[in-house]
Chains A and B, each alone.
Chain A
Amino acid sequence: SQELEQSPQSLIVQEGKNLTINCTSSKTLYGLYWYKQKYGEGLIFLMMLQKGGEEKSHEKITAKLDEKKQQSSLHITASQPSHAGIYLCGADKNNNAGNMLTFGGGTRLMVKP
């Protein structure tokens, strides 16, 4: 079965600093999704990447997919306290219709004011 490894597991950064979270898959990536979860709440969809080399940005968050390396990265520029939370990457279980996602263990981000 597919496994997703996220690194680092936790991260504390000073407000204003940049940071990168990585997600590495044990198998071919058919689609890669980034979500954010705040304590006690559900997952908020951030971005979806489907093609090798694809890069998407939303506000100060950029995600890239390196299909050959079976890896994706999430980069936050000039971090703010509002960026704090748990970031999860999810990958399609297979290439069929439907979205049974396998998730990584998450990266817990804290941003110090």
Chain B
Amino acid sequence: NAGVMQNPRHLVRRRGQEARLRCSPMKGHSHVYWYRQLPEEGLKFMVYLQKENIIDESGMPKERFSAEFPKEGPSILRIQQVVRGDSAAYFCASSGGTGKSPLHFGNGTRLTVT
């Protein structure tokens, strides 16, 4: 009865490289949400996806960031040409999506850009 699985737990990238963060939602969940937690800051919404669709990406930076949730496989948050300011903890959450239900969070991926 696995919860939300994120990998890797820790990721180190040099400036200019690409970072790929993966998220497998809880079994039976088809709604995925990505959040970012910067050091000493709160949790900020980035993007909300359902299978093969981006529902709301109002929290995503306009450049370098993209997200997908394909029909098969995990959701991917992709950051191109990373900069030091991208260093943060990235959390994925999932829900069943039927009415109001709590989000279930993964343990996050901690991205460090050197």
Contact = CB atoms under 8 A, between A and B. Distances in A.
A43 B91 contact: yes
B45 A45 contact: no
Interface residues of B, number: 28
A54 to B, nearest CB: 12
Nearest to A102: B45
B12 interface: no
A42 B95 contact: no
A59 interface: no
Contacts of B55: 98
A104 B42 CA distance: 7
B43 A45 contact: no
Contacts of B98: 97
A100 B48 contact: yes
Interface stretch (B65-73, B75-83, B101-109): B101-109
A48 B93 CA distance: 16
B86 to A, nearest CB: 19
Contact of B103 (A41, A99, A104): A99
24 contacts: A40-B110, A41-B108, A42-B4, A42-B91, A43-B43, A43-B105, A45-B104, A48-B100, A48-B102, A88-B42, A88-B43, A90-B43, A97-B97, A98-B55, A98-B95, A99-B97, A99-B103, A100-B48, A101-B33, A101-B103, A103-B42, A103-B43, A104-B42, A105-B41
